[in-house]
Every structure is written in structure tokens, then in C-alpha cells.
Chains A and B, each alone.
Chain A
């Protein structure tokens, strides 16, 4: 599905990622864990075309996507969510998800200005599908609320709905449970499983170990920019190197 090969990223003097390689299998939930500053977000930024890497390559279904800009990837079936929620805060919840359908719609500037019949039809489809994704994450009742006014937990759900509206084949989530209470985290776990049921592969960066061990099929551990270990949740929990990296933390 996704393959990262020898990726290296240097910021000034800081080596944020050093020769990181791994694969994400189709239809699986792959966890990426590691202490603060391990390079998890940097890894996501490279995979999704937001940073250009110092070295290495990224393949999406055997296609080399290294160096492709972020906006090209949605139509290739890859989207992500952000660690520090990135909502369109002055737009309604529904409009946020409608932007998620951008890559799957095509009315241009002229057609939109002239309100051509097919543009109107497309707009109707966008609205209906966006509504369905709001129902999927369970915030359809908030459709007309301005996104900036959402409580934090609902904002996370909105980001998920917006990403799913792209109908990705692979979804990267950066700490989706951060800031959620335990009730909300349970709901999120259910949703991530439902996303997988739809045939979407998921890559999950998360600090909530209970959640990671519970829903991930495989886990990759990063530490100080290097891949420390890789395996099933069970293998990871028993790996002495991982345990010492997390020194004392309950895995």
C-alpha cells in the first residue's frame, strides 16, 4: 500500500529522521509510536508532501510519490488529519466537509461563476455526500455551526469526516485522541475500525497506548528519528529496547 524507503530529514543541525523504512499493508491499521520529538509528525509531513525530504523515497501502491506536492495526493487516494487540528474555522461544519470533496469534483472558475447546470448538480451531490460523512462520524446535527465554535472533541471528528470525504485509500491520523476524554476516545476507536471496514488503510500516530495496542494490527516504533522496532502489538509490548525507550512507562 504505502512504502517508506530510507527517509532522512535534517532541519539545520537537527536530524529529525534518519534512514526510516517501513511498509503499510492494505486494509490494516498501522500504528506509529515514539516519545515526544521522535519524528512522527515530520514523517507524516514528508509522506503527505508538506515537507520535501533530505533523502529517501515514498511509494504509494508502487508509484513513487516522493516530491509530489500535497495537493496532488488527495486525488491519488491519500489524506491526513493534523496533530493541532487544522479546521476551516470561519466556515460551517458542513462546508468543511464539502471542501473534503474538492478532489472528487471538478467545476472550474468559469463554470462556477456562470452557475452552469452541471455545476449546480455537482454542488448538490457534494452537499449530500458531505452530510453523509457528518452522519458517519455522528455530528450531522452540528452541520450549520461555525467550525471555530466547535468543542475540541467534535473538531477532531470533523477533521475525520472531512478527510473521509476525499474517499481515501489510505488515511494518516496524527494523534487523533489527543485532548479527548475516555468516552470520546472509545468512540474514536470505533470510528477508526469503521474506517478500516470501508477498506481504507490507516496509519495512526498516537500516544494513547491503550488505544494503539487495542486497534493496531502492526506497530512501528520511532525513537530519536530512527526506527527502533516493528511488529504486532504483542511483540512491541515485549520488546526490551522499546521498553527502555519508554523507560518505566506502562505499555
Chain B
């Protein structure tokens, strides 16, 4: 196993750089663009759920807000996409900060219901403000991003664009998780009262991580809008919030690389499950149940444990140190 954080990260970057060569010419490179976007989203939710222990059933809303702000302001109003992307992230972050104070006072089921409500409200707004968002039929004509002479107009270019941002998010998230702040978040998760006694301002920190999570989600949304050139409300509904939750749980709560594994699995699977048509949701349900029963720590912890068990099985009788 690779232990040192920097080695792990370097290995991850190398993997991401190799993928375009392996998938040369395949449509799967396009799928990998969405793996990148979903990785960002899963990390965002994981910081909140896996680290701070606060659930959100409305995270698709922050993703959608980023996507629609970028879409509407660039396609309809012709503003600079990069500026809009940053402004949207700041705006969505502020919104999360403001609603975070009342919402994150709630715990457990109540918090789940409040975030669910928020997600539904935003979804309805996307659908109903037809003049601005185009309503249920969506908003098209969103321009590709451009950087000087380079236009991000192909799958491969979008792959690099999205993954540069994703790798940055991974790095920052890994650093944050392995720091004084990451420790405080996990402390809140285990015992909020003890964390407070140790001087952790639990209420503020929860709101801050909620806002950070929203900022990352909004960035992912902006990238999504520009790579797809089209957005519709259906991508940002309750179903997608649940899918994000599934990615985080299947990948591994409280593990940044686990979020990548979860995003990878849940984004690739539909490509291989097309023959199931509408029954793929049944497969997800089964997958989630099986995972929770047999790998409650998620893929990121389950797979190494499985490998270890297979190794020790083969070398029966030898002692293995943990």
C-alpha cells in the first residue's frame, strides 16, 4: 500500500494522465469527463457527510445553481465564462453560508428533511422560471470555455480541463482532511460536545464546510454546463442528490480517494448496464444493499481488506502482521 500522502497523490495524477492514452478514440473518454465532475461533487458531499457527519439530501441544488448561473449568464447575457464561474461559486457559497446557519442547527432526520426541502425548492425554481432557465425543456447554446487560442470543444480537451480542476480539488481536499480542520470536523462527527469543550466552534465550522462544499459543487456545475453546452432541470433533482450520496457511501465515507472510486463506479456502470434499460435503478439498489452489508467502509477500505484476505488465504499458516 502507498502510505505517504504525496506519493498517493502523485500516483493518482499519473493514473489520470495515462487514461486518455488507454482510452484513445473511445467514447469512454467522454464518460471520464463526467467521472471528473462527479468526483468533485462526491468530494464536496463527503467533506460534509463523511468528515463533519452532516447529511445533505439537496446537494444537487448547488451543482444545478452553478450550472444554471454559468449557462444563463454566458448563453443569454454573453458574459465572460471564467468570471461567471468564479462569481457563481462565490454566490452559491454565500447562499450556503446564509442558509447553513439555521439548517445545520438541525440534526439527523431533521437536517435530512431541511436539505431535501432546499433541493426541491431549487429544482422547482429551475423548472418554473421558464423565461430565464428555459424550464423543463432546458437551456441550450451554452458556449464552450476558451483559454487564449484553445477552445475546449472536444472530449479530450474537456477531459484535461475538467481533470485539472478535479485534481486541484482532490489535492486541496486531501490537505484539508489531513489537517487541524479535518481533525476538528471528524471530532464534531464523533462527539460535538467534546469538540466544543476543546475549543472547536462546531456551529461555525459546520456552516463553513457546508459553504465550501457548495462552492466546489457550483464549480463542478459550471464546468458541466460548458462541457455539455446544455442543461436541464432533470440533472439536478432529488435523484441526483441520492446518486451523489450513493457515490460517497460506496466509495467510502471520510475518504477523498474513495469519493473518486464511488464516482468512477457509478458513472461507468450505466454504460455497461444499458441492456437493463429502466431496471438499472434496481441494480443500484441491490449494489447499495450489498455494499452496506459486506463493505460498510466502502470500496476504498473494502478492496484492500479483500485483497489482504485473499493473500492470507493463500499463505495459510503464516503469520501476517496487521
Contacts and interface: CB of A to CB of B under 8 A. Distances in A.
B2 to A, nearest CB: 18
B148 interface: no
B189 to A, nearest CB: 7
A126 B176 CA distance: 16
A8 interface: no
Interface in A97-135: 98-100, 102-103, 105, 107-109, 112-115, 119, 122-123, 126
A166 interface: yes
Interface string B195-209: 111111110000010
Interface string A80-92: 1010001111110
B197 A99 contact: no
A87 B186 contact: no
Contacts of A99: 183-184, 187, 195, 198, 200
Interface string B112-156: 000000000000000000000000000000000000000000000
Contacts of A112: 175-176, 179-182
B165 to A, nearest CB: 14
A117 to B, nearest CB: 13
A194 to B, nearest CB: 21
Interface in A23-55: 48, 50
Nearest to B212: A109
A69 interface: yes
A105 B176 CA distance: 15
B190 interface: yes
Interface in B195-243: 195-202, 208, 212
B191 interface: yes
Contacts of B197: 48, 50, 70-71, 73-74, 79-80
A149 interface: no
A162 interface: yes
Contacts of A102: 180, 183-184, 195, 198-200
B194 interface: yes
B94 to A, nearest CB: 15
Nearest to A116: B175
A175 interface: no
A75 interface: yes
A70 B208 contact: no
B109 to A, nearest CB: 22
A80 B197 CA distance: 7
A95 interface: yes
B194 A88 contact: yes
A69 B194 CA distance: 13
B25 to A, nearest CB: 37
Contacts of A100: 198
B213 to A, nearest CB: 12
A99 B187 CA distance: 7
A54 B189 CA distance: 29
Nearest to A162: B198
B175 A108 contact: no
Contacts of B180: 98, 102, 105, 107, 112, 119, 122-123, 126
B193 interface: yes
A75 B199 contact: yes
Given A105-B180, A109-B176, A109-B212, A71 B186 contact: no
B172 interface: yes
A166 B198 contact: yes
A99 B212 CA distance: 21
A103 B179 contact: no
Interface of A: 48, 50, 69-75, 79-80, 82, 86-91, 95, 98-100, 102-103, 105, 107-109, 112-115, 119, 122-123, 126, 162, 166
Given A70-B196, A70-B197, A114-B175, 12 more contacts: A71-B196, A71-B201, A71-B202, A72-B199, A79-B197, A88-B186, A88-B191, A90-B189, A95-B183, A102-B199, A113-B172, A166-B199
Which are the 7 A-B pairs with shortest beta-carbon distances?
A103-B199, A74-B199, A112-B179, A86-B194, A88-B190, A70-B196, A113-B172
